[in-house]
Amino acid sequence: MTEEKDFWINKDEVGILNGVEGTEYKVTQETMNQKGWYKLAGDEQIVKKVELTGEEAEWFEKNKNLPFFKNDSTEYFAKKALDYSVTWEGKEHWCNLFSQAYFNGYTIKKEKKYYIELNFNYYNGSYLNVNQFGVWVWEEKCGIFDGTKRQFTQDEIDEMQKDPRAKGLDLNELKTEVPEDELEG
């Protein structure tokens, strides 16, 4: 396990981390990690892990054990990364993205989730909750059933909009983004 320590970073890096200006700042490792920067084990090098979608991460996991480059074969990582894109313009993007993941690691991009909120309840707001039986209930965020779903992806909202129970409601107008600290697994 590596020792937790503070890092001195320059003005350009500070702007990336938190939008402030100055010449040099001391930043904790935890702050660096929250912004996607990680210390490589055993040395002082700090790298930015790329964010991959679930589909990209699945492709990466399938191909990560290939050698990065191999002269006498077509079975190597860089070739597979180039082949991932169907357009010539996209080849450079995918090759760069997957190469960074190959050498620096990656994190999986969290899909945005939303609450569906009716704004006319004068107490704490009334939120759409869907229980394990598919019953729609408008109540506070806490929910009354185990297995109640109250955070929805955009795809789920689009599908729910087709439901007859949504007649007269524009769920996209009622959605509010879930803050990162409230995201459910």
| 135 shares a domain with 162 | yes
| Under 8 Å between Cβ of 183 and 113 | yes
Residue 131, in any domain of the structure: yes
Residue 53 is predicted with a pLDDT of 84
| 171 shares a domain with 140 | yes
| 76 shares a domain with 60 | yes
| 148 shares a domain with 89 | no
| 58 shares a domain with 22 | no
Residue 20, in any domain of the structure: yes
- Type and span of the H or E element at 115: strand 114-118
Q: Which of 93, 108, 123 is the last residue of a domain?
A: 108
Strand partners, 51: 107
| Under 8 Å between Cβ of 138 and 171 | no
Average pLDDT, consecutive stretches of 10 residues, N- to C-terminus, the chain (185 residues): 51 52 63 70 71 86 81 74 71 81 83 83 73 82 68 92 91 89 76
CA distance 168 to 38: 48
For residue 28, the enclosing domain spans 6-48
Residue 1, in any domain of the structure: no
Helix%, strand%, coil% for the chain, nearest 5: 35, 20, 40
| 34 shares a domain with 74 | no
Residue 19, in any domain of the structure: yes
Going by C-alpha positions, the residue among 29, 67, 34 that lies closest to residue 46 is: 29
Q: How many domains does the chain have?
A: 3
- The model's pTM is 0.53
Residue 142 is predicted with a pLDDT of 62
| 178 shares a domain with 118 | yes
| 26 shares a domain with 84 | no
Q: Which of 84, 108, 132 is the last residue of a domain?
A: 108
Q: Which of 85, 108, 131 is the last residue of a domain?
A: 108
pLDDT in tens, 57-105: 888 898 888 787 777 767 777 777 777 776 666 777 777 888 888 888 8
Strand partners, 25: 9
| 42 shares a domain with 11 | yes
Residue 30, in any domain of the structure: yes
| 168 shares a domain with 126 | yes
Residue 114 is predicted with a pLDDT of 93
Residue 2 is predicted with a pLDDT of 43
| 59 shares a domain with 36 | no
Q: Please, what is the average pLDDT of the chain?
A: 76
Burial of 130 (0-12, 13-18, 19+ CB in 10 A): buried
| 94 shares a domain with 125 | no
